């Protein structure tokens, strides 16, 4: 199943500068694994010890996956996945 994934500026070194790439999978975790096969290094920027990094926001369509299962969040054909690093500090 194909989904569109929006890549933030800071991660575009892994996608040859592309703002948006395609991937497939039934869950967010599978989508990230699929991305990793073509964009090496991306997974380590998003996932740590089998969970999303606390300061990476990932959305499926309009939903923050933190509230819908994290890496197990369901992804369907045609969905839009958006990755945004949290803007945070002290």
Partner 1 sequence: MLVIRRDLVDAMVAHARRDHPDEACGVIAGPEGSDRPERLVEMVNAERSPTFYRFDSMEQLRVWRAMDEAGEVPVVIYHSHTATEAYPSRTDVSFASEPDAHYVLVSTRDAHDVEVRSYRIVDGVVTEEPVDVVESYMFSHTGADDVPDAD
Which stretches of the chain bind partner 1, using CB under 8 A?
Answer: 8-10, 55, 57, 59, 62, 64, 66, 82, 84-90
**Residue 86, both tokens:** 């949290």
The count of C-alpha atoms lying within 13 angstroms of the C-alpha of 16, restricted to the half-sphere facing its C-beta, is: 4
Instruction: Tell me how far apart the alpha carbons of residues 14 and 69 are, in angstroms, rounded to a whole number.
Output: 25
CB nearer partner 1, residue 12 or residue 43: 12
Instruction: Tell me how far apart the alpha carbons of residues 62 and 50 are, in angstroms, rounded to a whole number.
Output: 23
Closest separation in Å from C-beta 20 to partner 1: 10
CB nearer partner 1, residue 37 or residue 80: 80
Instruction: Tell me how far apart the alpha carbons of residues 13 and 64 are, in angstroms, rounded to a whole number.
Output: 24
Closest separation in Å from C-beta 66 to partner 1: 7
CB nearer partner 1, residue 37 or residue 61: 61
Closest separation in Å from C-beta 59 to partner 1: 6
């Amino acid at each position: 199943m194909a989904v569109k994934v929006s890549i933030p500026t800071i991660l575009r070194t892994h996608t040859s500068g592309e703002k948006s790439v395609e991937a497939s999978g039934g869950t967010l975790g599978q989508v990230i694994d699929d991305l990793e096969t073509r964009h090496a290094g991306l997974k380590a920027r998003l996932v740590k010890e089998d969970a999303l990094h606390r300061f990476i926001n990932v959305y499926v369509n309009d939903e923050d996956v933190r509230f819908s299962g994290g890496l197990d969040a369901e992804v369907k054909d045609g969905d839009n996945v958006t990755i945004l690093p949290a803007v945070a500090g002290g």
